[in-house]
Chain A
Amino acid sequence: MKYIDEFNDPALAHRLLDEIRATATRPWALMEVCGGQTHSIIRHGIDQLLPENVELIHGPGCPVCVTPLDVIDKALEIAARPGVIFCSFGDMLRVPGTDRDLFRVKGEGGDVRVVYSPLDALDIARRNPDRQVVFFAIGFETTAPANAMAVHQARRLGLDNFSLLVSHVRVPPAIEAIMTAPGCRVQGFLAAGHVCSVMGTAEYPELAARHRVPIVVTGFEPLDILEGIRRAVHQLERGEHGVDNAYARAVRDQGNQAAMRMIEEVFEVTDRNWRGIGRIPASGWRLTDAFRAHDAEHRFDVTGIRTEEPAVCRAGEVLQGLIKPTECEAFGTACTPRTPLGATMVSSEGACAAYYLYRRMNAPAPQGSRIPQEEMNSVG
């Protein structure tokens, strides 16, 4: 794939870095909203290459991380029921609920299946008319259109055995919540390119003006991120605070109209709890009354869920950019990908997982493994 090389070009990257270095005369703190951007930043070592006065703060944009515990627990309870086929994207399977995860449910006999698209789940429903098929519909604006399409199709095909367990969240209200939170240090945002490719940029000018922050729509390859940082720093140095699209190859200001229409037909805006952060007004979607029959929460009447977060886990502060993962006392000790306390450690896009996986130089053997060094050569 040619573009991967093009957007990793070291010479271009260093030219952008030089420009950022030359432009930044004061300390600036930028938040990359999306977990995919966090992952790319850490994986490519971009934060190590930036000048000291440009700090990246990791945002809440990992859909796996922010799915609230009570919804995870509902998923676990539904998935464990006989007659249910529970379909999910793979990275939800290891996310800890109060006392287990979907892998555990699968191991205990639950029919939990990894799918790559909600339409795969729909196909499973079509082929299993005597079973209840539930798709775990989580994610930001990026996954909402396909999930909406799946339930729309289910209605059209008369697949009464298909339902969604919905926990969709929206980015702009999260930016609002971050900017109004006590202790917020964020001075500019790198907005998530994939989200804007669906929703456009219409919601951002008002946010940027009200909070006096530049918002730069940014992609996910290293050069995309550096260009986003360059433009944000440029605005900050000039005292500007506008919306700038640095991902024009994928994002049009008006977004994807067909996708937005599909979302509007199936979902309506609602308040949502964000794991680790709390309730954010108007920050999510739920199925409209017209599609209530395909709402798994309604169908399975999952009530009486009691949740309990580990007291030591500071994932919420990580998600709000208030601390770095390494500042949490549990990081790398009580909390590892093997024994995650919070979703930020288990999700492939979570900030804690990124730091654990990519930044542990001179690290000891993984926690939970008591394998002596000379015996670690065991798989083949």
Chain B
Amino acid sequence: MGHGGGGALSAELIEQVFTPAYGNPTLAALADSAVLDLGGARLAFSTDSYVVRPLFFPGGSLGDLAVNGTVNDLAMSGARPAYLSTAFILEEGVELAVVERVARAVGAAARAADVTVATGDTKVVESGHGDGVYVTTAGVGLVPDGVDIRPQRARPGDAVIVSGPIGLHGVAIMSVREGLEFGGEIASDTAPLAGLVAAMLAVTPDIHVLRDPTRGGLGASLNEIARASGTGVRLRERAIPVPDEVANACGFLGLDPMYVANEGRLVAFVPPEHAEGVLAAMRAHPHGAGAALIGECVADHPGTVVVATGLGGTRVVDLPLGEQLPRIC
């Protein structure tokens, strides 16, 4: 299971199994979405599978995730998402009403994200061979001229901005899946981020890196960017927006909010001269209202993410190995 957790084991699986099998220059970039040159147009293309349990949770559902996840992967290349495909894998015995509910959620999320579900597929597997419903989506979108967003473009001096409070999706899922209550209703942050990205690009097309920190959380995403660009990242712990409910839950379970999944957040690396403008544009957008400047990209400690603690010490934020495990006491 650790290989699906979005940490070092996931990266290893891709590097050791899939990249050698498929090897080509486009794939080697291994971004959230591939940017392809097709007849003069720059097309972003991405696919992802969604296997969340439970299918419905506070703030969203499998259907929302399946749309928003792929929309966001496209948006992280700066693309304007246009078309999606959906492939449903249904487990024999799953109630039709459940499938309908997921499908309606897909439709609603697609309308909210302003994308069209243009094609799809359905398969049924035997009872016991699935988890109710799995959904795979793929999507395409157009990358505007002059936009070149990828992890390798992080530069020392870049401002590191997160679009809002972290950890809500992961904690919301845990609260319903494990029957834990952490005081206060916690809803997933799942949301389509292409509109937010468009607002940021309107300030400057020269945004260097965008990433939606899903599995593995903010910590994993920043490590990937640091390693891809060969730069360091220095964060200020007190500037990172961690909601009380998330801090509470993580404290209880011995988890680090830095590694808890998000579904409606992005982290941006922006040239320092544009940081204020981009931050203001983000805060003016509904999906970026809680945006915060959390640190900067540095030439020191290349490939490593370091956080200045509230007390004035420092520590490394490493790439998590796999999924975090709740501790004993």
Residues of chain A having any CB pair with chain B under 8 Å? 1-2, 4, 8, 10, 13-14, 36, 42-49, 63-64, 89-94, 103, 106-107, 114, 116, 138-140, 142-143, 194, 222, 337-338, 347-349, 356-366, 368-371, 373-380
> Contact partner of A380 among B32, B230, B310, B312, CB < 8 A?
B32
Partner of B329, one of A93, A143, A360: A143
Q: Is the C-beta of B151 less than 8 angstroms from some C-beta in chain A? A: yes
Tell me the minimal C-beta distance from B305 to chain A in angstroms: 10
B327, A349: Cβ atoms under 8 Å?
yes
In the complex, the answer to whether A43 meets B10 with C-beta atoms within 8 Å is: no
List residues of B (138-167) whose CB comes within 8 Å of A's CBs: 150-152
Check B316–A46 contact: CB distance below 8 A: no
State whether A375 touches B212 (Cβ < 8 A): no
Task: State whether A380 touches B48 (Cβ < 8 A).
Answer: yes
Contact yes or no, B15 A371, CB < 8 A: yes
Roughly how many angstroms separate A359 CA and B180 CA in the complex, as a whole number?
33
* Chain B nearest CB, measured from A133 CB (Å): 17
Q: Contacts of A48 on B, CB cut-off 8 Å?
A: 313-314
Does the CB pair A358–B316 fall under 8 Å?
yes
Could you tell me if B1 and A358 are in contact, using CB atoms closer than 8 angstroms?
no
**Residue B228 contacts which of A107, A114, A373 (CB distance < 8 angstroms)?**
A373
When distances are taken between beta carbons in the complex, the residues of chain A under 8 Å from B216 are: 379
**Interface check B224, CB cutoff 8 A:** yes
Instruction: Assign chain B's interface to a size class.
Output: 35 or more
A38 to chain B minimum Cβ distance, whole angstroms, is 13
Q: Of B195-203, B244-252, B278-286, which stretch is located at the interface?
A: B244-252
Candidates A4, A64, A371; contact of B328 at CB < 8 Å: A64
- Is there an interface contact between B247 and A1, defined as CB atoms closer than 8 Å? yes
- Among the listed B29, B211, B303, B316, which residue makes an inter-chain contact with A373, where contact means beta carbons less than 8 Å apart? B303
Contacting residues, chain B, for A114 (C-beta < 8 A): 325-326
B 1-34 to A, binary, CB cutoff 8 A, 1 in contact else 0: 1100011111110111001000000001111100
* Cα–Cα, bound, A365→B304 (Å): 9
Write the residues of chain B forming the contact surface with A, with a CB cutoff of 8 angstroms. 1-2, 6-12, 14-16, 19, 28-32, 46, 48, 73, 76, 150-152, 178, 180, 211-212, 214-216, 220, 223-225, 227-228, 230, 244, 247-248, 251, 253-254, 301-304, 306, 309-316, 318-319, 321, 324-329
User: Which A residues lie within 8 Å of B302 (CB)?
Assistant: 362
Which of B150, B178, B224 has the largest count of A CB atoms less than 10 A from its CB? B224
Some 24 contacts from A to B, beta carbons below 8 A apart, are A1-B248, A1-B251, A42-B315, A44-B309, A63-B328, A89-B328, A90-B324, A91-B326, A94-B325, A103-B2, A107-B1, A139-B329, A222-B310, A337-B321, A338-B9, A359-B315, A361-B301, A368-B12, A370-B15, A371-B12, A377-B31, A379-B7, A380-B212, A380-B214
Query: Are A49's CB and B313's CB within 8 A?
Result: yes
The listed residue (B11, B312, B325, B327) touching A49 by CB distance below 8 A is B312
Give every chain B residue within 8 A of A356 (Cβ-Cβ).
Answer: 318
Provide the bound-state CA to CA distance between A375 and B230, in Å.
11
Query: Are B224 and A8 neighbours in the complex by a CB distance under 8 Å?
Result: no
List 9 A-B pairs, minimum CB-CB distance, nearest first: A45-B313, A90-B325, A358-B315, A376-B227, A380-B32, A377-B151, A90-B326, A89-B328, A378-B30
> Known pairs A42-B315, A380-B76. 7 more at Cβ < 8 A?
A1-B244, A10-B310, A64-B328, A142-B329, A337-B321, A369-B11, A375-B28
Given A143-B329, A349-B327, the answer on whether A376 and B32 have CB atoms closer than 8 Å is: no
Known contacts A90-B326, A365-B227, A373-B303; is-contact A338 B314 (Cβ 8 Å): no
B325 to chain A, nearest CB (A): 3
Given the interface contacts A371-B15, A376-B228, does A348 sit within 8 Å of B254 by beta carbon? yes
**Which B residue's beta carbon lies closest to that of A88?**
B328
Question: Do B327 and A8 touch (CB < 8 A)?
Answer: no
